[in-house]
Amino acid sequence: MAMLKTIKTSMNDIKQAQDGIKASMDGLKTELDTLKGNMERVQEQVKDKPAKFKSSLSYLKLGIGDLKAEAANIKQGFAQIKDAGKDREPAAALIAGAEFVHEASGFKLKRAGQVIGEITYAEGPEPDTWMANHTYVDPDHRGGNVAKQLLDRLVEEARLQEKMIFPVCSYVRAQFKRNDEYRDVWHQY
């Protein structure tokens, strides 16, 4: 009976991974369309406002980096399919006793000195903007809500400091697009 439960859980994990890959591919298509639109805006701004061009070019470069990260996420999704069914701790047990550590450029979630996950940001081109540029969760701790908790902590800090977040990281961008709860801190270009 336990074997059937494990197989069922593995099949669910595989389906979730496949759904994630499909969503990532859809996101990649959307990002390409956005990138094309941004390129057109940059060309218009070159003619009109050279100062804005620099800022737009920075955002365009970030978009290209985002596309690369999205491709890496798709690749990671395939790796997760291979890993589906491995014995793992329940998600709640993964973060029990963990604590957030605020560092100069982000937050880490640590348990017993081990980094479970991290989210980082850099100062944006405007003084009230952070660019969320990286989210990482240790492979042994993926599948829970560690990344979401890290994002929620970053958003909480941004609200406290009255900052807006430009989502360079593909995970952060996907969450911002899916969840209205982040609209108040989302710096959209």
CATH number of the CATH domain containing 178: 3.40.630.30
Higher pLDDT, 146 or 93: 146
- Residue 5 is predicted with a pLDDT of 66
Domains in the chain, number: 2
58 and 39 co-located in one domain = yes
Domain endpoint, select from 83, 110, 125: 83
110 and 159 co-located in one domain = yes
23 pLDDT band (50/70/90 cuts)? Answer: confident
65 and 111 co-located in one domain = no
Domain endpoint, select from 83, 109, 126: 83
52 and 134 co-located in one domain = no
The tens digit of pLDDT for each residue in 92-123 reads: 455 678 899 999 899 999 988 899 999 999 99
14 and 67 co-located in one domain = yes
72 and 113 co-located in one domain = no
| DSSP string computed for the chain | -HHHHHHHHHHHHHHHHHHHHHHHHHHHHHHHHHHHHHHHHHHHHHHH-HHHHHHHHHHHHHHHHHHHHHHHHHHHHHHHHHHTT-----HHHHHTT-EEEEETTEEEEEETTEEEEEEEEEE-SSTTEEEEEEEEE-GGGTTSSHHHHHHHHHHHHHHHTT-EEEE-SHHHHHHHHH-GGGGGGB---
101 and 24 co-located in one domain = no
Q: What pTM did the predictor assign?
A: 0.54
79 and 124 co-located in one domain = no
69 and 98 co-located in one domain = no
Higher pLDDT, 131 or 76: 131
Mean pLDDT within 16-26: 79
User: CA 132 to CA 167: how far, in whole Å?
Assistant: 5
Give the structural domain span for 23: 2-83
73 and 115 co-located in one domain = no
77 and 112 co-located in one domain = no
- Residue 56 is predicted with a pLDDT of 67
Domain endpoint, select from 31, 66, 83: 83
154 and 138 co-located in one domain = yes
The tens digit of pLDDT for each residue in 44-93 reads: 766 666 555 566 677 777 777 777 777 777 777 666 655 554 444 444 45
